[in-house]
Structure 1
Amino acid sequence: MYKNWWKILGALLVMYATIAGFLHSVPKLPILHESIRNLYFHVPMWFSMIILFAISVFHSIKYLLTNNATHDLKAVESVNVGVVFGVLGIVTGAVWAKFTWGQAWSFDVKQNFAAIALLLYFAYLVLRNAIDEEQKRAKISAIYNIFAFPMMVVLLFVLPRLSDSLHPGNGGNPGFNSYDLDSRMRMVFYPACLGWILIGYWIYTLKFRVRALDKYTTL
C-alpha cells in the first residue's frame, strides 16, 4: 500500500478537483462567467502532456546512451499517453473558446501552434510505425524525439507571445493573475494540476508494463 500512495493521492486530487471545479465559487468576471471553471481541466491537461513528453525525452536520451530497449518502450508509451492529454487539452480549449470567443476554432495563434506541436508527436508515432527494423526504429525515433521537445516548447510558449492573440498570457493579452485566479481558484487549480499529472504518470506506467509483458512473452 505504501508504494502506491502517489496513485491514491492522484485519484483523490482529481476527484476533489472535479467536484470542487463544478461546485466551488469562482470570480464573477465579464465574458468568462462560469466558463472560467474550465481552467481546472484545460490547463492541467497541457501540464500533464508536457511532463509526459519530458519523461519521453529522458528515456530517449537514456536509450541512445545505453542501447537498452526498455528505455525505448518507456519513451514511446509516455508519448502515447501524452498525446491523449494533448488532444484533451485541444478539445477542452475549443469548448472554452466556443463560449468566450464565439467559435470553437478561431485560428488564434495559440490554437494553431498548439495543434502543430501536437502534430509533431503524431509524426513521431507515424515514424515509428514506418520502420520495421527494431534497433533502427528505436534510434531514429529517439533522435527525433529529442529534437521535437524543444520545438514543442517554442511553439507553445515562445512564438505565441510574438503575435496578437486572444489567449491569456500571449500576444500582449494578460494572463490569469491575482484578480482572476484568486485564492478560491488556487485551492482547486493547483490540486487539479498535480492530480492529473499523477494520473497521467500512472497510466503511462500501466501501459509500459502491459507493453513490456507483451514484448517479452512473444520473444
Structure 2
Amino acid sequence: MNKRLKTILFLVVSVFLTRFIPFSSLFRNLDTMIHEFGHALATLLLSGKVLRIELYADHSGVTYSTMLTPGRSILVSLAGYISASLFAWLLFYLYRKGRHMWGLGIITAIALVSLLLYVRGEFGMLWLTGFIALNVVIMIFGAKIVKFYYLFLAFLTLEESVLSAMYVGLLSWTQPSRAGDAANLAQQTFMPAMFWGTLFALFALWCAKGALALFFRKESSSGRTSRARSLSK
C-alpha cells in the first residue's frame, strides 16, 4: 500500500478510536496549546512581546502580541501549524527512543509556562491547571499506565495537528477570509490564502508520515524483542 495512503487510513482509524475514550474531547486543547505556544515562542525569538494567549472550550485559541515588522510577522504566522506538526513528530521520536517520560515532561513544562506567563481567561487557566495536575499524578503514581497515556496524547496531538491543518486548508479554498493563519499570511504576502492553507495541510501530512513511521518501527522492534525472549526461554 502507498505510504501516504497508509498514513491517511491509519489517522482516520485512530481518530475514531481515540474519540471512544471517555473525556477525550477535554484533551484536544493540547494541540491548540502547542499551536499558540509556537506563535508565542516565535514572537519572543523575533524580539516581539507576547501579551496573552487565549484557549477556548471549542478547541480554538489566539495569541495576542505586539506588532512586528512585516517580515517577522510572516514567520510568527507560520509558526503555529508548523510547530504543532513538528511537536507531534517529536513525541513519536521520543517514544521511538523509549523516552516517553521526557515527552510527558516537556508537554507539562510547556503547559506550566503557558499558565504562569501567557494564558489568560477562565477556561484556559482552568484547563491547564487540571491538565498539569493530571500529568504530574500520572508521572509519579501511574507507572503502569504512563506509556499508554503518553501514546494517547501523542496520537491525539498528531490527529489534531493534521485535522486542523487540513481544515484551514479547506477553508483557504472555500472561504479564504476565514482561514486563520492562512488568511493572515495572504494579507502579509503576495501569495493567496489557498497557497498557505495547502502548504500547512501538506506539511502536517508529511510530519504525520514521519511520526507514524517511527511508531511502526518501534512496535516492530518491540515485537522482535518479545519473540526473541520467548524463544530463549
* Larger RCO (CA under 8 A, 6+ residues apart): 1
Which TM-score bucket, shorter chain as reference?
0.3 to 0.5
Give the TM-score, by structure 2 length.
0.34
Higher strand share: 2
